[in-house]
Amino acid sequence: MSTFTTECYQNEYLPLGGSEVNAIVTVTSDGTAGETSAPDAAEIVIIDTSGSMGAPRRKLEAAREATRVAIDCVRDGVAFGVIAGTEVARAVYPDDGTLITASPEMRAEAKRALRRLKAEGGTAIGSWLTLAGQMFATAPGRSCHAILLTDGENQHETAEHLDQVLAQLEGRFQCDCRGVGTDWKVSELRRVASALLGSVDIIAEPEDMAADFRALMQRAMGKSTGNVSLRLWTPQGASIAFVRQVAPTIEELTGRGVHVNPQAADYPTATWGRESRDYHVCINVRPGQDGDEMLAGRVSLIEGDETRAQALVKAIWTEDQQLSTHINREVAHYTGQAELADCIQEGLEARKDGDVATATFKLGRAVKLAAESGNDGTMKLLQAVVDVEDAATGTIRLRHDITTVDEMSLDTRSTITVRVGPSAT
């Protein structure tokens, strides 16, 4: 079993009357259980086989190849399946709505079954996920993960239906979502990935699919610890302003807490390999008197019924403004990274709506924040969409020649953050 460690970054000093407590909690898992516990996993690959996947033809061929690569990465003993999705979902392998235990023979058979895939029909992502949920249910007790590939919008069911499905499946399995080409909707796939605690990304060229699937499946196989929750205890009378993962990507968790008692809520974190994530918690507490010290929150990593690690978030009230006005570097950094993601998404939205002023302001602000925090990856993506005149002040011009791929890449990757570096402020 993996070992978890935590570190807490905060300025615990509050001015008299102050009530908002912010902290960044870094959680690191050493992933030591990797080799031994992978057979407890279950994996499903969901391939979009709607008509558009056949145009160009190589798209379906690339998806088939990517799925083959993914199957090869599945370790012996892992429960496995493949689903083909159109306006309905179909179990490709095994075809009886269950999962099969991986072995060399099974992998060969599964790859043969992929030959039968044809590109025809529509897109109903909710029905694909529902079938995945049913198949995972036949392998109880395993840590379940799916890869979903689509190339289009969810046209053959309502947004409400998809929301209902997601609400039902939340916590049942984790799903990484990939959009190939530029005809899919970022916000739609992001909603699926967020609800199912997975990542979302664009695969611009079909040829890049195989490498991406390999990376996803290898990462999934490296996840050794499943069913981990982040538990936040707060004192009586306190309220949780927000809880969000802030690294490696921003994931809003605030609304996803499940109370285990009136003072503690569990937030899902899915599976962990050898990795480190940062969380930003913001808690409002009842102000204390000068010199009072309070436990404003306790962040615990819970696996099953056991506490694997915990971090204490404190508040100390002081009249000394030099102490209380200092903003913790990590808190400031991630507040900026969250604003960066918001600015990009709002800026792109405004641009689509033809609101040039708002788009310029928001994307300019994004450039400034990316530059300040040393988020070079995001900066590069921004530069494909705007001409930067002065990064320090966020002075930019919207480019007119931008491609849809650049725009969608910036949108999907807007939530990728960087950690506090020595040069960052």
Could you list the residues that contact another protein (CB under 8 A)?
A: 13, 233-238, 263, 285, 289, 291-296, 312, 315-316, 318, 320, 323
**Residue at 226: amino acid letter:** G
CA distance 190 to 98: 27
Kindly state the smallest distance separating residue 420's Cβ from another protein, in Å: 20
Q: Residue 169 or 315: which CB sits closer to another protein?
A: 315
Kindly state the smallest distance separating residue 293's Cβ from another protein, in Å: 4
Would you give the end-to-end CA distance of the chain in angstroms? Answer: 37
Q: Residue 23 or 285: which CB sits closer to another protein?
A: 285
Kindly state the smallest distance separating residue 317's Cβ from another protein, in Å: 11
Rg (CA), the chain: 23
Q: Residue 328 or 414: which CB sits closer to another protein?
A: 328
Nearest to 63 by CA among 183, 191, 212: 212
191 CB contacts (<8 Å, ≥6 apart)?
A: 162, 163, 166
Q: Residue 14 or 220: which CB sits closer to another protein?
A: 14
Kindly state the smallest distance separating residue 276's Cβ from another protein, in Å: 25
Q: Residue 177 or 296: which CB sits closer to another protein?
A: 296
Dihedral of CA atoms 130, 131, 132, 136 in degrees, nearest 10, equals 100
Kindly state the smallest distance separating residue 295's Cβ from another protein, in Å: 3
308 CB contacts (<8 Å, ≥6 apart)?
A: 2, 3, 4, 228, 300, 301, 302
Between the alpha carbon of residue 305 and those of residues 73, 259, 300, 421, the distances in Å are 31, 14, 11, 35
Kindly state the smallest distance separating residue 394's Cβ from another protein, in Å: 35
Q: Residue 87 or 292: which CB sits closer to another protein?
A: 292
Cα–chain-centroid distance for residue 268?
Answer: 12
Kindly state the smallest distance separating residue 200's Cβ from another protein, in Å: 37
Dihedral of CA atoms 258, 264, 270, 275 in degrees, nearest 10, equals 160
- Please state, as a whole number, how many other Cβ atoms lie within 10 Å of the Cβ of residue 412: 23
Q: Residue 295 or 424: which CB sits closer to another protein?
A: 295
Strand 293-303 and strand 306-318: pairing? antiparallel
Q: Residue 38 or 315: which CB sits closer to another protein?
A: 315
Q: Residue 95 or 320: which CB sits closer to another protein?
A: 320
Dihedral of CA atoms 193, 199, 201, 203 in degrees, nearest 10, equals -100
Kindly state the smallest distance separating residue 289's Cβ from another protein, in Å: 6
DSSP 172: T
Residue 153 burial (10 A CB sphere; 0-12, 13-18, 19+): middle
Residue 98 burial (10 A CB sphere; 0-12, 13-18, 19+): middle
Residue 361 burial (10 A CB sphere; 0-12, 13-18, 19+): middle
Element (H, E) at 366: helix 356-373
Kindly state the smallest distance separating residue 302's Cβ from another protein, in Å: 16
Kindly state the smallest distance separating residue 277's Cβ from another protein, in Å: 25
Q: Residue 249 or 318: which CB sits closer to another protein?
A: 318
Q: Are 136 and 169 in contact (CB under 8 A)?
A: no
